[in-house]
Amino acid sequence: MKHLTLLTFVFSILLFNISIAQNNFTYIGVEGCVMCHKTEKQGSQLSIWRNSKHAKAYETLKTEKANQIAKEKGFTTPAVETEECLKCHATGYNLDKAILGKKFKIEDGVQCETCHGPGSAYKDMKIMKDRALSIQNGLVYHEEKEKFCINCHNVESPTYTGFEFEEYWNQIKHLVPKK
């Protein structure tokens, strides 16, 4: 019983520290990530993202088609100003400006930090080279990628036509090549 109590106490402190640390993380924006993630040696993550629909997600909200969909759903604001649209098309639309870095741009749509978390504390090369240290400093690594993706790719989306995870994942995966 004492072991369980001690374990619970240690776990609580750990969660508390992680929670506090996460509150200090800030979003640096795509430009803060590209310095290291644009080369072929690193996996060409930048070009994979730039050529994806994720990179253009915010822009799609500026179209007449998006505004028509928003209107049909009963919204009175343009799609690019509608929270129900922004939640899957942009990072940072609802965040305190204090945690958005100077180079962060909402216009970058579904960007690096949408999936990987705010990068201020893990962006340094020394930290990124150590997976555990990166995660400790806020890098989000999704064990269940499909589960994460269906937060947006689901029937709630008015343009949903199905979600074939493996097919779509193969279009956007951006792994670091094995050495």
Using the predicted structure, report yes or no on whether residue 159 has a pLDDT greater than 80: yes
| Sequence ranges of the domains in the chain | 26-120+142-172
Task: Say if residue 64 is exposed, middle or buried (CB neighbours under 10 Å; 0-12, 13-18, 19+).
Answer: exposed
User: What are the pLDDT digits (tens) for 127-138?
Assistant: 999 999 999 999
Nearest to 138 by CA among 8, 20, 12: 20
Please report the DSSP string for 126-168 in residue order: HHHTSHHHHHHTT----SSHHHHHTTTSSTTSTT-----HHHH
Residue 45 CB coordination number (10 Å): 20
Indicate the CATH number of 26-120+142-172 among 3.40.50.300, 3.40.50.2300, 1.10.1130.10, 1.25.40.10: 1.10.1130.10
Mean pLDDT within 4-8:
45
User: What are the pLDDT digits (tens) for 39-96?
Assistant: 888 889 999 999 999 999 999 999 999 999 999 999 999 999 999 999 999 999 999 9
Residue 43 CB coordination number (10 Å): 16
CB 82 within 8 A of CB 8: no
- pLDDT reported for residue 176: 78
- pLDDT reported for residue 131: 92
